[in-house]
């Protein structure tokens, strides 16, 4: 198992593959097993370690190879900082006001195109063969493999829907986390390391390289960017320019790029059309727009062969670097202006989730002839594609994306009681969110509280969590807030991310991931025979309550036929009732505590 002190020594080891297979124009130490095999194979992680060191050695003034974390199985997580400006540290990048772009491969380690394409593009850009001058105007952070332990779970058919390479890694981590479901909750050690890297370097753009499954069609890549439909309205224009520029570059090189994820509304049925959405912040593209930065999802198509997919991914990397070099300074100013606007979101209406309306338009989509017939194997309706017969599909595209969940932001921020301050504070620090501890109590504070009218627990585990769906609303209340609570101001650049984590109706809020489940579990109860006696006492003492009880029985059939609900009607009015039951522990405040 590798240790930090020995990493650089190991990185300088020579590559195991024969030098004779490398193209004559490239030093053997800088080529990949993929390149030397004609992109039929991909290397193991020891190749990444060796290449990282080799690039630093070959370009000492332009490349720095460094470790930014450790996986659960003890492997070093490596990144390359690359720039011709001499800014190879986060501090130097900030001082020189250079945009940073972080390009990441292998978050799903079976979809490994980004690793091999990234090293190829990196060498060509450093040698001036591609994107000439681009590295003078930016810093590239290249993470060849994010899910390293999954990468080393190596074998054939780890991606049965994918054409090549011969062997590849596994989708999830050694702890069976899907890292592209972990940006908001940040459970995995790998994600926590990535967020530290992001907090240190503050990349303007985060490029997440994937391979999509799905139907067979001619389109070879999809490029999605946010903000385009979501978050800061003015920054969306820059996001659209970024997306459309990369798509134009790819189209000019012969690709058939899409601006949306090509997943049909009914699985494997092209006639059902496609609905565009904004991913929640468990995904990379749903996360970075909440920080007022660009998140780009790159999806080559699994039915294209590996040489084709690597070439197109390489073209995408070069296009991204070219676009950032040309526009990064202006886009950085736009992001900084969005930060300022986010700091003033207090009291304003903010979208927590988005959904496309039913409004559709018809587009031409490059597919293949297909049939849908019942299968004698599964019994299901099965789609069969004929790749020898290209066909234009008239596809319904629903891309009128609108806010589906909105809330008025608190004027000041959120209060997290001391009982939860430690773990919530740790989670906020992982995201670089600003907060402060309250040393003094706030007696009879005027706050807003959220009591759930309905709390529904998921019946199955999701990423190790039993998720919780809440219905309810914020209401004014006077409560004592003890010393040791946290105050999380909404007046900060990451205000949207604060709300995404702390608003109970947000799709990837901490409470939605089950982190506050105990607050919605009943811990004390009243025996039915006791409740029966209490009910008779209350009815005898309060004629108005008796009338209310009779009315509810008459008007609510579900209540009328439920003994438990009828007894709870009286239990809730008894002094023994737990007033904290279904009370979300986090509060909102319109006044910043001193």
Q: What is the pLDDT of residues 177-229, one digit of tens each?
A: 999 999 999 999 999 999 999 999 999 999 999 999 889 999 999 999 999 99
Are residues 558 and 492 part of one domain? Answer: no
Same domain, 552 and 501: no
The alpha carbon of 463 is separated from its chain's Cα centroid by a whole number of angstroms, namely 14
d(CA 151, CA 106): 7
470 lies in a domain? yes
Domain count, the chain: 4
Edge-to-edge strand ranges of the sheet holding 436-437: 436-437, 486-489, 413-416, 587-589, 442-457, 468-481
Q: Are residues 149 and 284 in the same domain?
A: yes
CA–CA separation, 279 vs 549, rounded Å? 45
The values of phi and psi at residue 477, to 5°, are -160, 155
| Inside any domain, residue 594 | no
**Token pair in block for residue 2:** 């590798």
Q: Is residue 328 part of a domain?
A: yes
The helix (run of H) or strand (run of E) holding residue 451 is strand 442-457
Retrieve residue 389's tokens.
């017969």
In a domain, 350, yes or no: no
* 535 and 514 share one domain: no
User: What burial class does residue 38 get, using C-beta atoms within 10 Å of its C-beta: 0-12 exposed, 13-18 middle, 19+ buried?
Assistant: exposed
Question: What does each of the 594 residues of the chain score in pLDDT, given as a tens digit?
Answer: 333 334 334 333 333 333 333 344 677 789 999 999 999 999 999 999 999 999 999 999 999 999 999 999 999 999 999 999 999 999 999 999 999 999 999 999 999 999 999 999 999 999 999 999 999 999 999 999 999 999 999 999 999 999 999 999 999 999 999 999 999 999 999 999 999 999 999 999 999 999 998 899 999 999 999 999 999 999 999 999 999 999 999 999 999 999 999 999 998 899 999 999 999 999 999 999 999 999 999 999 999 999 999 999 999 999 999 999 999 999 999 999 999 999 999 999 999 999 999 999 999 999 999 999 999 999 999 999 999 999 999 999 999 999 999 999 999 999 999 999 999 999 999 999 999 999 999 999 999 999 999 999 999 999 999 999 999 999 999 999 999 999 999 999 999 999 999 999 999 999 999 999 999 999 999 999 999 999 999 999 999 999 999 999 999 999 999 999 999 999 999 999 999 999 999 999 999 998
Considering the domain boundaries, does residue 351 fall inside one? no
368 and 500, same domain (yes or no): no
| 396 and 412 share one domain | no
213 and 339 co-located in one domain:
yes
Q: Is residue 134 part of a domain?
A: yes
CATH number for the domain harbouring residue 160: 3.40.630.10
The 274-275 sheet, strands edge to edge: 274-275, 381-398, 361-374
Looking at the fold, whether 415 and 369 belong to one and the same domain comes out as no
DSSP for 516-534, written as a single string: TGGGGS------HHHHHHH
Query: Do 416 and 313 share a domain, yes or no?
Result: no
Half-sphere exposure of 272 (CA within 13 A, CB side): 12
φ, ψ at 471 (rounded to 5°)? -125, 135
Q: Which domain holds residue 365?
A: 356-403
Let me know whether 551 and 455 are in one domain: no
Close Cβ partners of 388 (under 8 Å, ≥ 6 residues apart): none
CA distances from 305 to 70, 216, 308, 453, 533 (A): 32, 13, 5, 52, 74
| Cβ–Cβ < 8 Å for 504, 470 | yes
Half-sphere exposure of 258 (CA within 13 A, CB side): 25
Give dist(CA 472, CA 505) in Å, integer.
Answer: 8
Q: Is residue 96 part of a domain?
A: yes
Q: Is 493 left (phi over 0), alpha (psi -120 to 50) or beta?
A: alpha
For every residue of 191-202, DSSP letters joined together read HHHHHHHHHHH-
pTM: 0.93
pLDDT digits (tens, 9 = 90+) for 132-145: 999 999 999 999 99
Whole-number percent of the chain with pLDDT over 90:
94
484 and 561 assigned to the same domain = no
Taking phi over 0 as left and psi of -120 to 50 as alpha, with beta for the rest, 96 belongs to: alpha
In a domain, 425, yes or no: yes
How far is it, in rounded angstroms, from Cα 228 to Cα 136? 28
The residue from 343, 364, 392 where one domain ends is: 343
- Comparing C-alpha atoms, which of 301, 334, 331, 335 is closest to residue 316? 301
Same domain flag for 412 and 473: yes
């Amino acid at each position: 198992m590798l240790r930090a002190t020995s990493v650089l020594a190991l990185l300088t080891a020579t590559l195991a593959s024969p030098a004779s297979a490398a193209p004559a124009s490239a030093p053997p130490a800088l080529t990949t097993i993929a390149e030397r095999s004609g992109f039929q194979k991909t290397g193991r992680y020891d190749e990444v370690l060796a290449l990282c060191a080799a690039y630093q050695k070959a370009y000492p003034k332009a490349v720095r190879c460094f470790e930014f974390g450790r996986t659960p199985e003890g492997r070093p997580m490596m990144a390359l900082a690359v720039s011709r400006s001499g800014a190879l540290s986060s501090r130097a990048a900030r001082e020189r006001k250079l945009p940073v772009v972080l390009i990441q491969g292998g978050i799903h380690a079976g979809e490994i195109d980004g690793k091999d394409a990234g090293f190829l593009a990196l060498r060509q850009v450093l040698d001036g063969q591609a994107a000439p001058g681009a590295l003078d105007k930016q810093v590239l952070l290249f993470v060849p493999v994010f899910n390293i332990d999954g990468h080393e779970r190596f074998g054939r058919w780890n991606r049965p829907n994918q054409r090549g390479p011969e062997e590849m890694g596994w989708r999830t981590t050694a702890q069976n986390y899907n890292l592209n479901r972990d940006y908001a909750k940040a459970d995995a050690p790998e994600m926590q390391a990535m967020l530290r890297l992001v907090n240190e370097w503050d990349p303007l753009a985060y490029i997440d390289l994937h391979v999509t499954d799905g139907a067979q069609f001619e389109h070879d890549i999809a490029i999605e960017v946010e903000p385009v439909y979501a978050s800061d309205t003015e920054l969306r224009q820059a996001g659209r320019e970024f997306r459309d520029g990369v798509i134009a570059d790819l189209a000019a090189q012969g690709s058939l790029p899409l601006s949306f994820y090509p997943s049909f509304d009914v699985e494997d049925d092209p006639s059902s059309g496609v609905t565009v959405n904004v991913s929640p912040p468990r995904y990379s593209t749903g996360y970075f727009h909440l920080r007022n930065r660009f998140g780009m999802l790159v999806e080559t198509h699994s039915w294209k062969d590996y040489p084709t997919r690597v070439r197109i991914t390489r073209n995408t990397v070069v296009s991204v670097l070219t676009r950032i070099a040309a526009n990064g300074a202006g886009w950085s100013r736009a992001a900084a202006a969005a930060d300022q606007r986010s700091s003033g979101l207090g009291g304003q209406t903010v979208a927590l989730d988005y959904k496309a309306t039913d409004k559709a338009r018809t587009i031409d989509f490059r597919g293949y002839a297909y049939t849908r017939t019942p299968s004698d194997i599964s019994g299901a309706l099965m789609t069969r594609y004929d790749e020898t017969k290209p066909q234009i599909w008239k596809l319904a595209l629903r891309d009128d994306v609108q806010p589906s969940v909105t809330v008025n932001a608190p004027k000041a921020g959120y209060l997290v009681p001391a009982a939860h301050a430690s773990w919530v504070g740790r989670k906020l620090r992982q995201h670089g969110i600003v907060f402060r501890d309250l040393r003094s109590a706030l007696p009879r504070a005027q706050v807003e509280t959220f009591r759930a009218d309905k709390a529904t627990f998921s019946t199955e585990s999701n990423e190790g969590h039993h998720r919780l769906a809440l219905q309810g609303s914020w209401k004014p209340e006077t409560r004592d807030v003890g010393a040791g609570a946290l105050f999380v101001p909404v007046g900060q650049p990451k205000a949207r991310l604060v709300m995404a984590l702390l608003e109970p109706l947000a799709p990837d809020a901490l409470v939605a991931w089950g982190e506050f489940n105990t607050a919605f579990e009943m811990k004390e109860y009243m025996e039915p025979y006791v409740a029966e006696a209490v009910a008779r006492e209350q009815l005898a003492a309060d004629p108005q309550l008796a009338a209310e009880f009779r009315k509810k029985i008459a008007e609510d059939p579900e209540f009328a036929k439920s003994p438990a609900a009828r007894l709870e009607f009286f239990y809730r009015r008894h002094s023994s009732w737990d007033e904290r039951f279904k009370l979300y522990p986090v509060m909102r405040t319109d006044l910043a505590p001193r």
